[in-house]
Amino acid sequence: MSQLLTLVIVFLAIFTQSLTGFGSGLVSMAFLPDILGVRTAVPLVVLVTSTVEAFLLVRYRSAFNFKAVWLLTLASIIGIPIGVWALRGLNEELLLTVLGAIMAGYALYALLNFKLPELKHPAWAILFGFCAGLLSGAYSVGGPPAIIYGSCRRWNPQEFKSNLQGFFLVNDTLAILGHGISGNLTTVVWRTYILVLPAIALGILVGTGLDRYINPRIFRKMVLILLVVMGVRMMLF
């Protein structure tokens, strides 16, 4: 039963990212820690998300703007090893509580549609990139800081989706190296990754195939509401 649930969760996570351009890490980490434990779920999710990011970056490569994300990526390199250390060194209950707060907080922010100020100076990328690297190393959920940064920089929709994939792919590749050096990429992690490869492929196929038929805004709101519920549950229980 746990294997079936893992497959379903990974499929839904990849479907979400293929449709909206982000969200696979958040959706995965809302459920997989309960099934696999946080120290197995985190390195597994970074392997899973990097797979879909590589595909989507190729798909949207014409809109990719390296100049827009290089400083963001550079700053994330500093945060990733600190996050990986936190995963190994901190209490699992504390990790889950913080993860729940991050998840619920970001989802509420996105649902309420706050009008964010425009950040014209690219130096802001250092702060947001560091935070993204920290969260990526510890929880495989580096998306929220990068998404907020992209919104504040007023990226157009195609550039937004493409730039995020490029940043996420580099960020997650570095996180994979960090987890490998720290010994987090265990046999169980690799075995589970191989198990979910069909779910990844199916999620990409269905998500990219249906993106013209499903309203991504409505779907995104449904996912965000679910993330609020799961985040609160993690904090309280």
What percentage of the chain exceeds 70 in pLDDT? 100
pLDDT band of 116, cuts 50, 70, 90: confident
Tokens of 201: 């492929």
Number of domains in the chain: 1
The mean pLDDT value of the chain amounts to 87
pLDDT value of residue 36? 94
Give 156-181 pLDDT, tens digit per residue.
777 877 888 888 888 889 889 989 99
**Strands of the chain, DSSP E:** none
Domain span at residue 29?
2-236
* pLDDT (0 to 100) of residue 194: 97
Helices and strands of the chain, counted as H and E runs: 10, 0
Closest CA to 36 of 188, 172, 231: 188
* Cut 0.75: pTM above it: yes
Of 96, 76, 91, nearest to 177 by C-alpha is: 76
Conformation bin of residue 185: beta by default, left when phi > 0, alpha when psi is -120 to 50: beta
Q: Is the pLDDT of residue 12 over 90?
A: yes
